[in-house]
Every structure is written in C-alpha cells, then in structure tokens.
C-alpha cells in the first residue's frame, strides 16, 4: 500500500528515516535503490562518523542539486512515498524491494525506465515489511515534475506488483469508501476520552435517519430526536428550498465552544441531500396493520427474494443486483438500531460493511428497481414498528439476520466477479458478523433512552425449536471459503 506525502526539506526526511523512529522501530536503515546514474549504493550511504552520527551532507546535496538549478522549483519539492506489504505477506529481499521502488517511480511518471534525466530519488529500508522512497520533484534537465495523479498511478503500480509477487491483493481503489477520521480528530478524541470518533457517530445516526425517513422533514426530526444538531442549507435562488444540511454533536466543539459541523458528503459520498432525495422515491410511509413480528417476517421474505435477484441479475444486469443490495443495507441499518440501540455493536458494523459492499463509486445512487422499492418501504415501516418491538419479534429478527447474511454472500460473489476486491471483502465481513450475531448472545439490551425505541428483551439467540420452513436456511454452513 503506497502512502504519499509532500515536504520542503529532504534532509529532515532522511534524518528521520535513518533515525531510531518514534518508538525505536527503525532497524538497520540502508539504501536498497536509487536513481539511474547514481552509482553504487554503498557510495551514497550516509557515512557514520566517530560520534556515531551519520553525515547526510553528500546525499542531501545530490538530491537537492536539481532543485537548486531548476527553472521553476515547486514550493514543496520533496516527494515521500512509503510502500508497505500486508502483515500476512512474506518478507521480501532487498533486491525485490529495489525492483518495487523502481516500478513505483516509473509508473508514477517520476522516473521512467531508461530516463537518465528524470528526478533523483532513493529508497530506504529500515524494517522488514516496508520501504520509503524520497525524491525531489525537479528533473535533472531543470524541468519541474508536477507528479499529477501520482497517488492513483502508484496504487495501480502496487496492484500489479501484488499479482507479480503473489502478495495479499489489496485491490484497486474503487471510490466507494466513506471518509475516515483524520489524525487530528483521532488525537482530539484520545485527549477528551471519546470512545468513538464524532464523524463515525454522526455517520451512523445519519444513515439510520436516512433509512427510516420518507421525507426531508422526517429525516431532520429523527436526527434531532437522536440528540444531533442539524442545520439546513437553503437555496440562494429559492429561499424556501432546502438544498443541503450539516450535523454536529453538542459535546464535540472547537476551542471557542462552537460545534464542529459535518456536511453529509463529508460523512459518506452517498449521504449528501441530493443523493438522499434520489433514494426517497416516494414521500409516504406505506400503511401496515399487522404485528411487529409479521413485519419482520415480511422483511426477511423480501431480503430472501432480493438475494435471489442478486444471483439472477449478477451476470446480465449487475445494476439491478446492486440496487437490491443497496436497499437491503438500509433494512439492516434499521434492524441494527432496534436490536442494539445507539451503541456500536456487531449488527451496526455489519450494516456499515454491507453498505460499503453495495455502494456505487463516487456516491452514485443505484437505479430504482421494484425489489429495492419494496425493501425501502419495509425499512420505513420497521422504523415505526420498532417502537412496539417485544420478544415475539425475536425469531423473525433472527430469520432476517440470517437472510441478510446470505444476501451478503451473494453480493460478495458479485463484487468478486467484478474484481472489486474492497467491496467483496466488505460483503464477506458483513456476512461473518451477521452469522456471529445470530449464533452468539448479544450484550445487554440498550435502554429506551439509548435506543429511542423499546429494545428487544433477552439474548439475541436462536429459539430452541425453530419454526417449520426456516431450518433449510439456518442449517447452512456458517462460513464459506474465501476466494
């Protein structure tokens, strides 16, 4: 996995890479590769003086020489890329790492093979599972190298190298992941003792509200009832038209005490208001006069039918298959809230993984389909019926969970056939978590204040005597071999 950063001082970077590291993790730092024409590596190695300190002046001078002579050097001329293998991979030799560094630099467009006037760079290894590439972004012919799209190109190079060396397949970036908390957010959560990043908590609340709501007003009302601060953004052309929103937690503030706001798209690419409006096909909650248990039975039947649709449409109409899986993720989101409340449990983790597996790149909304509309209608009904949940809903909910695990398996097979490995792994993760939740007792049931609904009572385990017609599904193996 390549990680690319920019900087100003190549000397500072080299001193860190050759130093002990933040936790004494740097062991035997040494060069494994360098630019074409650099000469033998042992001549480039910073020599160790009498006091045990290395002298970096010659190597720094060689790397900075093109920058000093450049026609228009960039303000941040240092390009730093770390390349790491998966923990399950074997250790590679210095020669193999040298080849990997050369391929990354060539495919990133910074130092193509045979280009003796390319940028200068060195690859340093100070651990068994990774290297660091340090380069200066001015070519030896004095032209600036702007490194456009270098991250995508470096990732593509690593995907090819994984296959060539038989390493763990990370898979190409598919632009379906939500935004992760940044380092500053995580550090602040550690200082303040927050158990979960605010961004993750808000994304979970917004996703539940989006799955259970039928209108923008319902969506905002559900968020406020969950204790989330909400502000709507209106159009400058039509002042009465709501065009966006932002959310915050009351206890997550700046140093001045102001709330830290997040727009929907900053939480996940499919949670902006225009994407949600495209998801809400109609503005009503369908009527339901039956019991909560019967509603969960209906949801389980719809998920089972959606699984058949995913397998049937996988080859000829993958868009329809993805639409069914995307809607089923909403059903799981609502069921997870009713079973676990607002705490993050295995069902919430499975819902997040299934949502990643079903999502389209760049937050696009899947095309509507009859099955997807039926699943969304059931999700809205569950959002209301969950307030009446009791022990009678236990077995139907378990049946729903098992059926959702089978749908996750079908979705994983679809993504594997499309070579979208990140989403395939997310679907496998969702299936594993769902089967574990159905087989093992859950933790203590959330309180009414936590869940916003009356929680299920008793452990989340299978009844001792299954009903007829369900054994055929629940008796399947709990694991499948990973492709």
DSSP letter, residue 446: P
Whether residue 170 is contained in a domain is answered as: no
pLDDT of res. 464: 40
Burial class of 36 by CB neighbour count within 10 A (0 to 12, 13 to 18, 19+) = middle
- The kind and range of the H/E element at 83 are strand 78-84
Last residue of a domain, one of 247, 279, 311: 279
Same domain assignment for residues 114 and 45:
yes
pLDDT of res. 319: 77
With beta carbons less than 8 A apart as the criterion, state whether 230 and 247 touch: yes
Same domain assignment for residues 348 and 462:
yes
- Give exposure, 305-334, as e/b (b: 16+ Cβ within 10 Å): bbbebbbebbeeeeebbbbbbbbbbbbbbb
Same domain assignment for residues 440 and 467:
yes
Q: How far is CA 446 from CA 345, 382, 459, in A?
A: 11, 18, 12
Q: How far is CA 13 from CA 87, 215, 259, 296, in A?
A: 25, 52, 36, 58
Mean pLDDT score, 400-413: 93
Same domain assignment for residues 11 and 153:
yes
pTM higher than the cut 0.75? no
Same domain assignment for residues 120 and 151:
yes
3-state DSSP of 277-330: HHHCCCCCCCCCCCCHHHHHHHHHHHHHHHHHHHHHHCCCCHHHHHHHHHHHHH
With beta carbons less than 8 A apart as the criterion, state whether 395 and 299 touch: no
pLDDT at position 190 over 50:
yes
| Between 471 and 366, the higher pLDDT residue | 366
pLDDT in tens, 77-107: 999 999 999 999 999 999 999 999 999 999 9
- The kind and range of the H/E element at 380 are helix 370-385
With beta carbons less than 8 A apart as the criterion, state whether 28 and 128 touch: no
Last residue of a domain, one of 279, 307, 327: 279
Domain count, the chain: 3
pLDDT in tens, 460-483: 433 343 433 434 343 333 344 443
Rama region for 461: left / alpha / beta (φ>0; ψ in -120 to 50; rest):
beta
With beta carbons less than 8 A apart as the criterion, state whether 118 and 139 touch: yes
* CA–CA separation, 407 and 413 (whole Å): 10
pLDDT in tens, 245-271: 999 999 888 888 899 999 988 898 888
* CA–CA separation, 424 and 418 (whole Å): 9
- The kind and range of the H/E element at 153 are helix 150-165
pLDDT category of residue 220 using cuts at 50, 70 and 90 = very high
* CA–CA separation, 407 and 312 (whole Å): 12
Same domain assignment for residues 272 and 296:
no
Whether residue 382 is contained in a domain is answered as: yes
pLDDT of res. 270: 84
Q: Which residues contact 204 (CB under 8 A, 6 or more apart)?
A: 342, 344, 348, 352
pLDDT in tens, 22-69: 777 888 899 999 999 999 999 999 999 887 889 999 999 999 999 999
Same domain assignment for residues 244 and 103:
no
- The kind and range of the H/E element at 262 are strand 262-263
Whether residue 160 is contained in a domain is answered as: yes
Give first-to-last CA distance, the chain, whole Å.
21
Last residue of a domain, one of 114, 134, 165: 165
User: 3-class DSSP state for residue 5?
Assistant: strand
Query: Which range, 84-98, 172-186, 383-397, has the best average confidence (pLDDT)?
Result: 84-98
pLDDT of res. 137: 96
pLDDT of res. 482: 42
pLDDT of res. 172: 62
Q: φ and ψ at 231, to 5 degrees?
A: -130, 130
Domain with 154, as residue range(s), is 2-165
pLDDT category of residue 345 using cuts at 50, 70 and 90 = confident
Same domain assignment for residues 256 and 306:
no
Query: For 67, what's the count of Cα atoms within 13 Å in the CB-facing half-sphere?
Result: 20
Mean pLDDT score, 280-301: 77
Same domain assignment for residues 303 and 223:
no
Q: Which stretches of 70-119 are DSSP H helices?
A: 94-107
CA-closest candidate to residue 358, choices 404, 302, 312: 404
């Amino acid at each position: 996995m390549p990680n690319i950063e920019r900087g100003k001082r190549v000397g500072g970077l080299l001193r860190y890479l050759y130093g002990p590291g933040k936790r004494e993790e740097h062991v035997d730092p040494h060069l494994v590769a360098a630019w074409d024409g650099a000469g033998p590596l042992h001549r480039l190695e910073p020599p160790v003086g009498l006091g045990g300190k290395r002298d970096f002046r010659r190597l720094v001078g060689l790397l900075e020489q093109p920058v000093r002579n450049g026609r228009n050097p960039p303000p941040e001329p240092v390009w730093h890329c770390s390349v790491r293998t998966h923990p399950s991979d074997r250790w590679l030799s210095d020669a193999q790492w040298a080849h990997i560094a050369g391929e990354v630099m060539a495919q990133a467009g910074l130092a193509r093979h045979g280009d003796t006037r390319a940028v200068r760079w060195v690859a340093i290894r100070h651990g068994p599972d990774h290297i660091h590439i340090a380069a200066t972004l001015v070519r030896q012919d004095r032209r600036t190298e702007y490194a456009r799209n270098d991250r995508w190109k470096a990732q593509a190079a690593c995907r090819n190298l994984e296959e060539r060396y038989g390493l763990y397949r990370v898979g190409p970036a598919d632009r379906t992941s939500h935004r992760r908390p940044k380092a500053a957010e995580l550090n602040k959560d550690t200082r303040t003792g927050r158990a979960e990043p605010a961004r993750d908590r808000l994304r979970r609340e917004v996703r539940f509200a989006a799955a259970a709501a039928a209108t923008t007003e319902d969506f905002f009302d559900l968020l406020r009832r969950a204790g989330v601060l909400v502000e709507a953004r209106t159009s400058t052309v039509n002042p009465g038209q709501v065009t966006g929103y932002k959310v915050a937690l009351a206890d997550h503030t700046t140093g001045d005490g102001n709330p830290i706001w997040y727009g929907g798209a900053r939480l996940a690419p499919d949670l902006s208001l225009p994407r949600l409006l495209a998801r809400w096909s109609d503005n009503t909650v369908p009527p339901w006069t039956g019991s909560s248990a019967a509603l969960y039975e209906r949801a389980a039947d719809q998920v089972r039918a959606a699984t058949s649709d995913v397998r049937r449409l996988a080859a000829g109409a993958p868009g329809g298959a993805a639409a069914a899986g995307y809607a089923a993720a909403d059903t799981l989101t609502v069921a997870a809230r009713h079973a676990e409340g607002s705490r993050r449990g295995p069902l919430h983790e499975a819902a997040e993984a299934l949502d990643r597996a079903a999502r389209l790149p760049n937050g696009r909304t899947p095309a509507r389909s009859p099955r997807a509309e039926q699943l969304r209608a059931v999700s809205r009904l569950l959002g209301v019926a969950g307030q009446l949940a009791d022990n009678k809903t236990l077995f139907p909910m378990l049946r729903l969970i098992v059926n959702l695990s089978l749908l996750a398996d079908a979705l994983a097979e679809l993504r594997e056939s499309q070579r979208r490995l990140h989403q395939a792994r997310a679907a496998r993760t969702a299936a594993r978590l769902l089967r574990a939740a159905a087989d093992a007792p859950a933790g203590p049931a959330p309180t009414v204040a936590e869940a916003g609904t009356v929680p299920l009572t008793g452990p989340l385990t299978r009844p001792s005597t299954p009903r007829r017609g369900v054994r055929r599904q629940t008796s399947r193996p709990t694991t499948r071999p990973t492709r």
